[in-house]
Structure 1
Amino acid sequence: MTRIDFSGYRDVLRTPGAPWFTIAGWVGRFPRGTLNLGIILLVQAATGSFALAGAVAATYIVGIAVAGPLWSRLMDRRGQRPILLIAAGTLVVSSTALVGAVLGESPVGFWFVLSFLAGAVSTDVGPAVRARWSSLVPGDRRHSAFALESIADESVYVIAPPIVTLAAAIWAPQIGIAVVVVVGALGMIWLGLLHRSQPPLVRASERRVRLLPPAGILPVTVAWVGVGAMFGSFDVTSVAWAERAGSPWLAGIMMAALAVGNTVGALVYGAMRPRASLRVRWLVGSALLAVAALALPFAADTPLALLASAVVGLLIGPVLVAGYALVESRADRERVTELLAYPSLGLGAGIPLGSTFAGVGLDAAGPVLGFTVMAASCVATLVLGATGELLLSARPAKVPVRVP
């Protein structure tokens, strides 16, 4: 029988320096959590097109995903401190340039270039914090530590989206963007200065030039194309659903509903002590998520969409925690930060697919098609993950792959 024990959170937070780098990492997540929403609001206000707004915002996420493993590799080799300090500065400069281009009515193609660059020159602090946990806590407590990080990920979505949407409604979209960028940059600087908890550098004798991840990382990375498509379609659909309801500020509430569900799901899952393997937990969670998401299109034009979003969030939390834990368990010790960034690569590949398809559907028929794309994305997560694990199990025995 599965036990639920919340003491694991207390134990990991007693790790020296853990409360401080956890808080700093949480603050540093603000741009990743909501800058794409700010871009959607900015571009939609300037052009009136959800499809264009979703595409420009997705390009930002693609930039993060493509450059993420490279930034994380640099952290493994050079240390987190210099990389995070550089990223804080480039985040401010690149996001300011993007806002200026949209407000200045420069050519639309230039918006995509700047959006991609804004993502590419920024770094995701999530792998940096998870690498600290991996270095500091024993294996039997990483389950709770990674759940804590998923809670940090999603609590940002509870707080930041309402701030961005309210700022856009009261003042202007660029004000919301400015708030999250400044807060995020301060968090990156703070995390970079907390050098005592940083994982040790890889010594020169240990360095091996390997550009591709181990095979065991690929099922999660590919499956999270579906997770990214779900998030991408959800962001743009939330804005359209709120506008259809006549209250644009409800977009932030809907995003918070999914994030609250995600936070609760990750919190409870992190307190569980299941006996099943990480692989089984991940696939079962993906199956439950796919089934629940099928209800979304039926609630598209009703207030029940808020409840349906919360239920999907409740189930995506365990999927994210189990996925990160599975990747960490299969990662080479000298590449932990880098390999923990690969799921974000899958997310980044999926977000433009989800936001683009949902944007086209929203322009044509409203929220019902947007939520349909979201449901299909959750089903794709299960199909891609199960197929990847099946192919991994079928690999020749002479190729060693750790499969927890």
Structure 2
Amino acid sequence: MTRIDFSGYRDVLRVTGAPWFTLAGWVARFPRGTLNLGIVLLVQTATGSFALAGGVGAAFVVGMAFAGPLWSRLMDRRGQQPVLLLAAFTLSLAVAVLVGAVLAEMPVATWFVLAVVAGAVSVDVGPAVRARWSTLVSPERRHSAFALESIADESVFVIAPPVLTLIAAAAAPQVGIAVIVVVGAIGLLWLGLLRGSQPPRAVLTGPRPRLLPPLGILPVTVAWIGVGGMFGSFDVTSVAWADRFGSPWLAGLMMASLALGNTAGALVYGALRHRASLRARWLGSSVLLAVAGLALPFVADSLVSLAVAAVVGALIGPVLVAGFALVESRADRDRVTELLAYPSLGVGAGIPLGSTLAGVGVDAAGPPLGFTVMAVSCVAILVLGVVGEALLAARPRAASVPSL
């Protein structure tokens, strides 16, 4: 029987250095959790087009997601400290250049290129912190540790979007972006200087390290194209939804509702003591998310959508926690940081689809069509996950190899 036990959080936070690297990792997450929204606000303010704003924001996320495994691989090979310190500099410089290009009204094609570059030089902090947990805590407690990381991920969305949108409304979008970047750079520097909790560098012996991930990583990675579609469409639709009410600050409140629900869902899920397999937990959570997501288009023109967004958030939390735990359980031990970044690759592939389709839909028919894209994305997580796991299970045992 499943029971709730919050003592797991207490146990993992007693690990030497855990409170500090958890807090540093949380601060360092601010840019990756909010810059997409900042770019959408910046471009939409400059051009008046939600579709263009969503496209440029998606270009940033694409660069970020596809470079994520490379940064993480570098951390496995060279250690986290030099990579994180470098990332603090590249993040600040690249985002400043992108904002300058938009404000200077350089050709739109330049915005897309610079957005991809800015994303590509932004390191993914989540895998770096999860790799520390994977090294420091026992397998039976990693469930709680990864839930704690999902809480850290989503609590950023509770705080950062309202802060960014309020600053953008009171001053300008570029001012909000600057604040978020400075906070993130401080977090990256802080986490990089916490050497005591960093996992050891991988010792390379034998053949050349593999470049492609193990087959077991692929179902989660592909299914999270739907996660990306959900988040991408939600960002753009939230801005349009708030604009319809004549209150731009409501976009931050909508995003905070989803994130707050996500935080609560991950917190409770991480305290559960399950008997089901990781695969069953992941797919079961995806079923509930798909059902809840289908309600969004029907409440798109009312404030009830805030409550529905919170419910969807509460159900995406378990999907993310179980997905990361499944990936970690299937990862090669000398590539943990790298392989934990692969789900973000799926997210990065889905965000441009979601944000672009939602942007076009919002321009044509308003928020209801944008929320429809989000609902379809929630269903896609389940469908892609079930198909991927079925194909993986159907492979002959003798042909099952650890990696491609």
What TM-score do you get using the length of structure 2 for normalisation?
0.99
Paired position in structure 1 for 2:269: 269
CA distance in 1 between counterparts of 2:40 and 2:176 reads 12
Partner of 1:342: 342
Amino acid at match of 1:186: I
1:49 aligned onto 2:11 = no
CA distance in 1, matches of 2:237, 2:125: 27
Compared CA separation, residues 262 and 350, structure 1 to 2 (3 A) = same
Aligned residue in 1 for 2:69: 69
Provide the residue aligned with 1:326 in structure 2. 326
Paired residues of 1:150 and 1:320 also in contact (CA < 8 A): yes
Q: Structure 2 counterpart of 1:341, which letter?
A: A
Equivalent positions of 1:1-400 (< 5 A) are: 1-205=1-205, 208-400=208-400
Cα distance in 2, alignment partners of residues 266 and 292 from structure 1: 16
The offset of 1:400, in angstroms, is 3.8
The offset of 1:337, in angstroms, is: 0.2
**Contact persistence 1:43–1:102 (CA under 8 A):** yes
| Distance in 2 (alpha carbons) for counterparts of 1:204 and 1:241 | 51
SS in 1 for 2:202: coil
Report Cα offsets for 1:217-254 as digits up to 9, x if no partner. 00000000000000000000000000001111000000
Which residue identity does 2:249 align to in structure 1? W
- Alignment partners' CA distance in 1, 2:189 and 2:220: 30
Q: Deviations over 1:151-204 (max 9, x none)?
A: 000000000000110011000000110011000011001000001100011113
Matches of 2:254 and 2:289, distance apart in 1: 18
Give the conservation status (yes or no) of the 8 Å contact 1:285–1:318.
Answer: yes
2:378 aligned partner, one-letter code:
C
| Cα distance between partner residues in 1 of 2:208 and 2:305 | 49
Within 1, Cα distance between the matches of 2:260 and 2:121?
A: 29
Q: CA deviation at 1:133?
A: 0.2
Aligned length: 402
Return the alpha-carbon distance in structure 2 between the equivalents of residues 207 and 362 of structure 1: 51
Cα offsets for 1:260-315 (capped at 9, x unmatched): 00000000000000100000000000010000000000000011010010000000
CA distance in 1, matches of 2:330, 2:278: 11
Q: Which amino acid aligns with 1:50?
A: F
Aligned-residue Cα RMSD (Å) equals 0.8
Provide the secondary structure at the position in 2 that maps to 1:91: helix
- 1:75-106: CA deviation from partner (whole Å, max 9, x where unpaired): 00000000000011000000000000000000
> Closer, same or farther in 2 for the Cα pair 1:206/1:264, shift >3 Å?
farther
Unpaired runs of 5+ residues, structure 2, are none
Code of the aligned partner of 2:50: F
Q: 1:207 to 1:190 in 2, by over 3 A?
A: farther
DSSP-derived class of the 1:318 partner? helix
Task: Name the CA shift for 1:401/1:269 in 2 (closer, same or farther; >3 Å).
Answer: farther
| CA deviation after TM superposition for structure 1 residue 396, in Å | 1.3
SS in 2 for 1:94: helix
Using the alignment, how far apart are the partners of 1:228 and 1:283 within structure 2? Answer: 17
Counterparts in 2 of 1:98 and 1:15: CA distance versus 1, 3 Å: same
Once residues 401 and 319 of structure 1 are traced to their aligned partners in structure 2, the CA distance between those partners, rounded to angstroms, is 26
Q: Distance in 2 between matches of 1:116 and 1:176?
A: 20
Q: 1:225–1:349: 8 Å Cα contact kept in structure 2?
A: yes
CA contact (8 A) 1:216 1:401 kept: no
Residue deviations 1:331-353, cap 9 Å, x none? 00000000000000000000000
Provide structure 1 residue ranges, at least 5 long, that are not aligned to the other structure. Answer: none
In structure 2, how many angstroms separate the alpha carbons of the residues matched to 1:401 and 1:5? Answer: 36
Structure 1 residue matching 2:398: 3-state secondary structure = coil
Distance 1:334 1:371 in 2: 41
For residue 371 of structure 1, what is the amino acid of its counterpart? F
Structure 2 residue matching 1:211: 3-state secondary structure:
coil
Using the alignment, how far apart are the partners of 2:192 and 2:285 within structure 1?
34
Distance across 1 between alignment mates of 2:293 and 2:247 = 24
One-letter code aligned to 2:366: G
Following superposition, the deviation at residue 399 of structure 1 comes to 3.1
Separation in structure 2 between the aligned mates of residue 397 and residue 152 of structure 1, nearest angstrom: 38
Structure 1 residue 122, shift from structure 2 partner: 1.0
